[in-house]
Amino acid sequence: MYLIDKQKNRISKLKQKTFSELKFRERDHLQEWIANDPCSLGEELLIIQKEFNGFSDTNERLDLLALDKQGNLVIIENKLDDSGRDVTWQVIKYASYCSSLTKQDIINIYQEYLGTSAIAHDKISEFFDNKDISEILLNQGLNSQRLILVAANFRKEVTSSVLWLMNFKIRIQCFKVTPYSFEDQLFLNVEQILPTKDTEDFVISIATKAQEEISVQETLKNRHHIRLKFWEQFLNASNKVNNLFINNSPSKDTWIAKGIGMSGIGLNLVVTSSYCRAEVYINKGSSEDNKELFDYIYRMKDKIESDFGGELEWERMDDKITSRIKVQLDGVNYFEENDWKKITDFLVDVSVRMEKAFKEPIKKLNQDWKNK
């Protein structure tokens, strides 16, 4: 690996190091790096536990337990300079232990990891793009667990067993991590070596199986029907008061959205089985851009809240790509038709006030953004 010097138009070789000579430890360093930035493994993962030992009749601990965007459990085992001979067998055991975890088990495990700092239901719902928690499928099927091995070097007996397991649709990946140094700086290269990146989609598609049973499908169809019916009556009520959502159609999703004058910023209305909310949602695809836009709007907080006629919740969400400003009503359930009027009255009222309060700030932001 080389460092590019653009000014001198030269490259300088980085010195490959070992974790042991740098005095890095597996649990204190490598594990923490991945736990704090799971995207280093090439995808968005939700870490739900570290050093998980919730297995019956054994004191074994798996390094990291995560969820992927498809609701699969991901078992992550970290080694430092050498993978060891038995790491493949180790993660297979962990996968077998985890295969019996129910959805509620997973929620409880994550809640224990979070402590009192957050609510596991809400965090999982956010990770799955604000789906209602009751609709999120977790750890479906005995072969849905995924395995990730991380090490600086992999022995041949490990790579050969991994290749053999892949033939049986076991979803397993190997990531090689290599530290480098240049003067006083340290660098870490994370490279997926099995399956190779250009064949990964093919291997995954072979291993993928249907995770939703007929009974679950029927339940989802019923939920979609209820949502369509709810949004239909909401839009009828809203359109009698204003034209904000005049171009929207009833949706089977938990949300409907409207542009408010700038690409990447929208006014969303969300309904779930425990709350409803209106939010100005900021998502231009880049975390840096989103935080800059949020900070710009936040400087007008007092004026916006004055025009809105009340306090708003300002969520910069530094651990997420997106940001939002919201107002929320808890304790309502859109599955209960008796709550529909309360939800609808709330959303109609706050959506009008939010659109009015943010109209000029977004207009000014849009002009300034174009002139950057």
Q: Which residues does the chain have with pLDDT short of 70?
A: 197-221, 372
> Residue 318: what pLDDT?
92
Q: Looking only at Cα atoms, what is the longest distance across the chain? A: 71
> Residue 22: what pLDDT?
94
Does the pTM surpass 0.75? The reply is no
Residue in 250, 225, 252 with CA at minimum distance from that of residue 337? 225
> Residue 200: what pLDDT?
59
> Which string of b and e fits 60-90 if b means at least 16 CB within 10 Å?
eebbbbbbbeebbbbbbbbbbbbbeeebbeb
> Residue 203: what pLDDT?
53
> Residue 76: what pLDDT?
97
> Residue 214: what pLDDT?
41
Which CATH number is associated with domain 2-207?
A: 3.40.1350.10
Domain ranges of the chain: 2-207, 214-370
> Residue 208: what pLDDT?
47
Give residue-wise pLDDT tens across range 263-315: 999 999 999 999 999 999 999 889 999 999 999 999 999 999 999 999 999 99
